[in-house]
Chains A and B, each alone.
Chain A
């Protein structure tokens, strides 16, 4: 009896030890990012892991702000990201509903297309889409041009679709008996229930454009149009500006870039369960 209890305690200890180790490994680089961003002089020694009072300050944040003017960049990131999220919901939600609960001509093709674009590597599209966007659609240095390839996140459409499939049929039957048309059913019955799906899809969609480097890097060349990820990336690659602590400046920019999305995730994570995600991948 006692040895069993002892074994269970030991097992629990190992279990918690293991996940704690994993969590530390996950968080440590982010901790280091914050510490490094506050160092006045880059201190890459082991002891530099612990912030030292004499070597702390916000100079790096001032320097990064001078080099890439954070606020306008954050504004561009916000427009780019929110545009994508809104379009994903406005276009993706009805499409997900139709794919889940309605029969219409060409439905298998649309469903197939949805899966196809999920696995299609972006490189096939990169050059032709760049040409189309810049040359034919005239969308260089334009928010629409940035948003275009991200506009409707296929994973989000899939989540919507799975969500509507998982809703009980009775719900819809009742609405139909009441004489509601499909559009009203969607708006009045299904939509109010979709909050968790919309939140999950928002987080999934949000991190894409917010963190994206390659496409906005191609399509925006004006400094004043670049989202933060791109201006920071260009700062890293050109390292033209001189600062007292170039590492620290990059890390300060990294913190500014990382904080909003981590905050959003922590706020939404209650809804962002593996079950919601899992519904998208069960397939």
Chain B
């Protein structure tokens, strides 16, 4: 960070401090007056960041530690004052979670979600961004149009999707006798596809904006040079745009992984609780069922940790594959 590189002006001995209502300022005063110089500045940075640090501790650090603790206990939501034994059970909760075929299914469902969501998002997001960047008119209109689904609540979107894809819905009417049987949302092959499409549609606008940010960073001179070399728009896209957006694609993939793991409202509401027959079960829904509904927080916490490991594993595998490809390209 360059902020500290420039010279540090010494604090005046008696700073003309107006009566500032800002809370973070007051605890800093004695330090500044007492010692002055760079150290006081150091403390101010800490004070400014402190509320956020406290927040990180309360909402992230403590629960994560607590999560590990619960996952190795036979934890009970005990009443205050009740003496309820919560014995250490080692890895029992993990074993129980892993022996549940629904958990394996829910992990596979994430992969299925990724297989549909990522290619669609990358292709459509990149192309729309590249095209959008070239528009001379109505750019704002189109950008907003793509983005509106992203700001709309999942619950609202689910309502429409339900109207579209339920038995006898618009989709069935459009397809007529081609309509799938069993119907979309109760068809174990199609239900997850419908959810993946819904999420892709909803998120696409956000990714278009990300890609657009990347596209706008590409210097025009590159395209001009390519144009002089006689490259058409398609070749320009493949030779210049796509490689320049590689980092954003990595981000998109990572975010898609997290979104897939976090699916809750869709399987809970659209497919009647992860149905049909577990085809749309998601880890988040399973954690809710086990940890809250069935009163087994130990198992729920264990699934949470297993899921994090799974995400790291998939993300790691992705990174490894990328490096392999890059190495091969370099060779």
Contacts and interface: CB of A to CB of B under 8 A. Distances in A.
Interface of A: 11, 15-16, 18-19, 22-23, 25-27, 29-30, 32-33, 36, 42, 44-46, 48-49, 90-92, 94-95, 97-107, 110, 113-114, 116-117, 119-132, 135, 148-149, 151-152, 157, 165, 169, 172-173, 176-177, 179, 181-184, 186-187, 203, 207, 210-211, 213-214, 218, 229, 232-233, 236-237, 247, 250-251, 253-255, 257-258, 261-262, 264-266, 269-270, 272, 274-275, 277-278, 281-282
B124 A152 contact: no
By size class, the interface of chain B is 35 or more
Nearest to A14: B131
A251 B48 contact: no
B159 interface: yes
B201 to A, nearest CB: 7
Contacts of B46: 98, 104-106
6 contacts: A18-B131, A94-B24, A121-B311, A128-B70, A131-B297, A253-B156
Contact of B48 (A95, A148, A250, A281): A95
B216 A275 contact: yes
B131 A121 contact: no
Given A45-B173, A275-B213, A98 B48 contact: yes
A101 B3 contact: yes
A18 B149 CA distance: 18
Contact of B160 (A33, A229, A270): A33
Contacts of B190: none
Given A48-B170, A213-B154, A125 B67 contact: yes
Closest 6 A/B residue pairs (Cβ): A278-B213, A104-B45, A102-B45, A101-B3, A254-B156, A95-B52
A254 B160 contact: yes
A274 B154 contact: no
Contacts of A210: 153
A105 B159 CA distance: 49
Interface string B1-15: 111111011011001
Given A123-B262, A179-B15, A265-B147, A100 B1 contact: yes
Given A26-B204, A127-B300, A265-B144, 5 more contacts: A91-B52, A110-B56, A152-B52, A183-B24, A269-B140
Contact of A26 (B62, B80, B127, B148): B148
Interface string B220-251: 00000000000001000000000000001001
A64 B170 CA distance: 22
A121 to B, nearest CB: 5
Nearest to B10: A179
A233 B269 contact: yes
Nearest to A135: B77
A236 B1 contact: no
A31 B68 CA distance: 46
A261 to B, nearest CB: 5
A253 B153 CA distance: 11
A274 B131 CA distance: 14
A255 B159 CA distance: 10
A129 B311 contact: no
B108 interface: no
B146 interface: yes
Contacts of B163: 32-33, 36, 42, 44, 247, 250-251
Interface string B155-182: 1111111111000111011100000000
Given A26-B149, A123-B261, A274-B212, A182 B45 contact: yes
Interface in B1-40: 1-6, 8-9, 11-12, 15-17, 20, 22, 24-25, 28, 32
B258 A119 contact: yes
Given A22-B128, A98-B49, A269-B140, A123 B284 contact: yes
A110 B52 contact: yes
A94 B51 contact: yes
Nearest to A251: B159
Contacts of B146: 22-23, 26
B56 A257 contact: no
B91 interface: no
B149 A30 contact: yes
Contact of B162 (A27, A103, A247, A275): A247
A32 B248 contact: no
B11 A110 contact: no
A236 B159 contact: yes
A27 B149 CA distance: 7
B155 A257 contact: yes
Given A101-B3, A278-B213, A123 B283 contact: yes
B214 interface: yes
A228 B52 CA distance: 29
B116 interface: no
A127 B67 contact: yes
